[in-house]
Chain A
Amino acid sequence: MQPQSNQEYQKLLTEILQKQAVIFGPTITFAKARKIPGITIADDGSVSAVTGNPQQITKDLQEQFGELSGFVVKKTIDPILGSIESRSTSS
């Protein structure tokens, strides 16, 4: 199911960032995430607010982490976004 509310997006983005933080380490992960307009990152690394267009934010996330490793994005972010898009198409 595609996230409907900002809270759902917050949860999804937090999930993505936490996974990236394990892979890349928190320092670079949150530095990259803080460059993306429209989201606020709390001190614990969770996404505390989503003010921008969620779809644009996810694209920006792909782009930012793609600068670190295309392989990791393909392996960890693309499947999550792909499953959201397919659910959205089927519903």
Chain B
Amino acid sequence: MSLPILIALICTIVFGLIAIFLSMREEKAKKLLLEREDQQKQRLYEITILKEIQERIGYSLDIEKAIDVITGSLDNLFTFSSVSSMIIHDDKLIFKSHFKEGVNQKFISEIKTSMLASLTALEVSHLPEAIEENFSGSALDEFSQSVPAAYFHIPFVINEKVVGLINVASKEKNPYTEQRMTLLYKIADLASRALSRLEDVLTVEEGKLLAMVGSLADGVFMVDVHSQLTIVNNAAKGFLHIEREHPTIIDVLSSLPNTYDFGGKIQNCIKENKAINEKEVKIGDKTFTVTISPVLDLRQRSEPRVIGASVLLHDITIEQSVAQMKEDFTNIMVHELRSPLTSIKASTELLRSQTPLTPEEKQKLIQLIFSQSNNLLDEVSLILDAAKLESGLFTVRKTHGDLKKLIQDRVTVFFPQAEERFIKLVTDIDPALPNFSFDLNHISQVFNNLISNSLKFTPSGGEIHITAKKVDDKVAISVSDNGSGIPKDKQHLLFSKFSQIATPNAHVGTGLGLYIVKGVIEAHKGEVKLESEEGKGTTISFTLPIETSLLAAESASPFLPASHPLIN
């Protein structure tokens, strides 16, 4: 072989090898490129599906919709004969199939059986027997002889609970690659995780809502469109005297008064999407306003759907009794002011008339006008003080004074009245009590109110004790009687403005007395305390700080609402 031929041969072999090498490299690069392209497509598919699920279900936790998105997108991945889903509901299974080609009944039946077997093998705790079927796509083809030659199931799991299953089936034997099938499982898994997170959020939010409803002082319960009780708070259970932890709608409705037909009203509210108000509904010994409102699903803002009704029980027992007290107070005030005025008017008319009167009779009438005017003035001062206390404008004018003397003077004033009713007025006053700064007029008024109150509620032969002693830098004073006492449930009302009117006693007055007592003592930075036992008597004690300086001679009332006095 000549050299040129040999060189040509070697060159051919070398170039050939290079060409083969380059071609192989190109093939490899192409393959790599295709693989990358495929991976990118799969990634894009993943993102698209998850985005679509998010957009379509929003925050509704609608598993059926999420599964529909996945099954509706399968054309991008596979060729298939049918794609089916089986969703587990409380009362039924929903079996949906979409057919890409005609299949027979046997094909459908085999898919259904295999899906049920899968759910059974997954040990779903409650698998309803009822199955609702829903088919779409190509029409049934009974002449088709084929059965599913290849199929796979994708369990849909939300927070460790199987909620449904997807089935992809084909008449062909090997239409799916393992990689593509795995991708679909991955997408279903990502969707399940997203829904699990959403369920967690909704569970937390539901917990917050239940805690909020539970903490309400008003009674609240909710009913769905199937008349099932969905929420009932503790206040409602208390108002309706329901002891069961998880009551039913029957428990609730049977505790409500029959006369109002609440069951019918709840149904009407749901049907007509209209709130219903019931005023002054008596339940046991309490009175309520009942508001039944439709509960709307606002996700479809243009046309919100009624999904139930909420019932609010607002206890108005106290408001009602306060309103009654105010009415009674007005009536009594009118009476208290009218009586002396009538008496004054009658006396004046008699004096002005031509009726011949003896000087003694004239003097009696003038005395009557004088005493009734004083009574009237006292009542007006009382009302004025009460108004000042309420508006925070009440002030005390302190001067150095002798409390021992003040108490003795007050006792002397009431002594004839007590003696008339055979009631002993006993004082026990510490002789070493120092003089200190206090408002002489208002503290006198305090003793007037307390002693006159005790006289009202102490029967003939009873005793009233007045004590005063120094305790540290205060004077502790008490007025106690062995009268009828105050019922426990009325004690908290005693220092309120209209309280006395509510007490079942014949000796009614304006009811402002103890309200003023509390205001005056608190304006002196003292404390009022009530101890009372029905049938045994009442002690009202209070303290006055021993102030010797006159710097704070005038101080505004730090008056607190009526619920504040200490009640033992």
Contact = CB atoms under 8 A, between A and B. Distances in A.
Interface string B171-199: 00000101001100110010000000000
A31 B178 CA distance: 6
Contacts of B151: 25-27
B121 A69 contact: no
Nearest to A34: B178
Interface in A56-88: 67-72, 75-76
A27 B181 CA distance: 9
Interface stretch (B152-160, B374-382, B548-556): B152-160
B348 interface: no
B122 interface: yes
A42 B272 CA distance: 65
Contact of B118 (A22, A67, A75): A22
A29 B151 CA distance: 10
Q: Is the interface of A mostly helix, strand, loop or mixed?
A: helix
A23 B189 CA distance: 15
A11 interface: no
A69 B157 contact: yes
Contact of B182 (A23, A67, A76): A67
Contacts, number: 60
Contacts of A22: 114, 117-118, 121
A29 B181 CA distance: 11
Given A67-B182, A68-B182, A69-B185, A25 B118 contact: yes
A75 to B, nearest CB: 7
A19 B213 CA distance: 47
Interface string B96-128: 000000000000000000100110011100000
Interface residues of A, number: 20
B153 A24 contact: yes
Contacts of B154: 24, 68-69
B496 interface: no
A71 B186 contact: no
B153 A25 contact: yes
A75 B153 contact: no
Contact of B186 (A27, A28, A31, A67): A67
Interface string A26-68: 1111011001000000000000000000000000000000011
A55 to B, nearest CB: 24
A28 B181 contact: yes
Contacts of A76: 121
Nearest to B117: A22
B155 A71 contact: yes
A28 B185 CA distance: 10
Nearest to B161: A71
A27 B176 contact: yes
Nearest to B120: A22
Contacts of B121: 19, 22-23, 76
B426 to A, nearest CB: 85
B185 A67 contact: yes
A19 B185 CA distance: 18
B185 A35 contact: no
Interface in B382-441: none
Nearest to A35: B178
B200 to A, nearest CB: 16
A33 B160 CA distance: 25
A35 B150 CA distance: 18
Contacts of A72: 122, 155
Contacts of B182: 28, 67-68
Contacts of A19: 121
A68 B104 CA distance: 30
B499 interface: no
A25 B157 contact: no
Nearest to A65: B185
Nearest to B157: A71
A27 B117 CA distance: 16
Contacts of B150: 27
Interface of A: 19, 22-29, 31-32, 35, 67-72, 75-76
Interface of B: 114, 117-118, 121-123, 150-155, 157, 160, 162, 167, 176, 178, 181-182, 185-186, 189
5 contacts: A24-B154, A25-B151, A25-B153, A28-B178, A69-B154
Given A35-B178, A67-B186, 13 more contacts: A19-B121, A23-B155, A24-B153, A25-B152, A27-B151, A27-B152, A27-B181, A28-B178, A28-B181, A67-B182, A67-B185, A68-B154, A75-B123
